[in-house]
Structure 1
Amino acid sequence: MNSYGGSLMTYGGSGTPPDPPHFEPLWPSDGKIHFTYLGTMCKEDCKLVGHEYKCESIDKDGDVQSMYCSPKANTDYWGRECRKCGMGKEEYYWCRPDDFHWGYCGMVTDNKIYYGSTTGAVCHNNCDQIYHDYYWCNTAEGWDYCSPSENRDYMNKQCREDRPCGKYDKNYNWCRLKEGSWGYCGLVKPKTLVRRTKYDHFCVDKCQRHEKKDYYWCHTASSWDYCSPDVDVTYKNKPCRSDHSCDSHGYSYNWCWTSESDYDYCGPIERL
């Protein structure tokens, strides 16, 4: 057993694990925010060290540690594709690459917020080229064109610096392209914080109050979930006890004690 919560021999099954697939020596800065297998945020790129991906992170005691992480979403700390990365009673994140093995993993999310071109609404999933040669995403108002990075159009062509992405008296965002024509585009803004939900999904838009039912919620990549409007408060905006922060505490959901005898659900918040 080592300081990271396990060894290669714990990778599932017994005996020596099989040789891993070929990896690049360093996962480049990819516009993503990486978390460790203990749920703390990576303070650097998720790097390949030997056969394992690791990053430096601050543990819950405030110490800097090298911890397991995943190079991209839905992979384990060996870079193998796996099923949903999640936490149970084990107090660490793990996933199954197949029916017989498991591995540590870390959650991965984008460090940007993407907006639709015509709706101006926040994208609920990644701005990507899924099934098409242009970039698009789903929003609360339906699907829409979007831009994969700042000042690019929906075909990933460069906008002119003197005519960047904007509405310009239209009801959609567009820009003049360096190549001479124009294209739809969506605004791209940096995230200032990362919100996680009751069930540890990432919020893809703001944590908003449900007026009739008096709780806070947000959209996730696939649905919606409860969230907290501020650090260490519940999804109903009630403060967590000062000695019990919002976390999973060994369960499959995030929660905190609000008094000596009462608890409620919450969503952790990481400031960037």
Structure 2
Amino acid sequence: MEAGLFGFTLAGLVVGFAVGVTGVGGGSLMTPILILLFGFSPSAAVGTDLLYAAGTKSFGVWLHGRQRTVDWRIVSLLVAGSVPAALLTIAALHTVGIDETVERIMTLTLSAAVVATALLTLFRQRLMAMVSDRAVPAAAGADVRRRLRTPITIAGAALLGVLVTLSSVGAGVLGTTMLFLLYPRLPAVKVVGSDIAYAVPLTLVAGLGHISLGTTDFEVLAYLLLGSLPGIFLGTRLGFQLPDRVLRPTIACLLILVGASLLFDNVASAFAG
């Protein structure tokens, strides 16, 4: 195996391990790695990572489906919002074309999504505690919340659909946080299972759209998957033995550094151009 291709397998292994240990979405790590370490353009990194995510998350859906930890009603709402939004975003990219301006927009979107993921990784437990303290509202307030929850779920999923199509980030930490806020009584394992289940069609549709744009590297994709599957397995097995209070802040700080690096590179290239 060539050294460069071995690097992609190693990257898949490292990202898969991190996902297995912390649950942080792979897109927030893999896409920046492809851009910063391997010199991919933002569109090529996003297009390749979307199919990488669809492949890795499909295995997770199978596991959660066997354990009956997927709320398929919520998944249907998320798909109803996110998939059409992804298709519209792909159509818009076809209309305007992948030029320098679009690449910069993708980089800025990716930077913002990575930093948001980092902040939620740091503070999500505190946010969830605040939500659980208020999970028993007055009956009238609960009725209003239930009536609005469906359209809010669809609208939030639509925003995530656009975000994921442009950056490949958003279907992990951002998606689960939205579900925790909207469905505070839903068990955490079903929140995670439902988020993974809707992410598969979303990343698959967005990934296929990027194929039509010519922004997918299939050889690199194969080597990423070759490393990621054993990485996820090892991370899942070892995650129970590693302290969460150390892992999550470490990953969050790394993501903030990555987001800042992407932003700096984008600003520097803009001035250089």
Please tell me the TM-score bracket, short chain as reference. Answer: under 0.3
Kindly indicate which of the two structures has a greater share of residues assigned to helix: 2
Structure ranking higher on relative contact order (CA contacts 8 Å, 6+ apart): 2
Q: Tell me the TM-score normalised to structure 2 length.
A: 0.23
Give the number of the structure whose alpha-carbon radius of gyration is greater.
Answer: 1
Judging by fraction of residues, say which structure has more strand. 1
What is the TM-score of this pair, normalised by structure 1?
Answer: 0.23
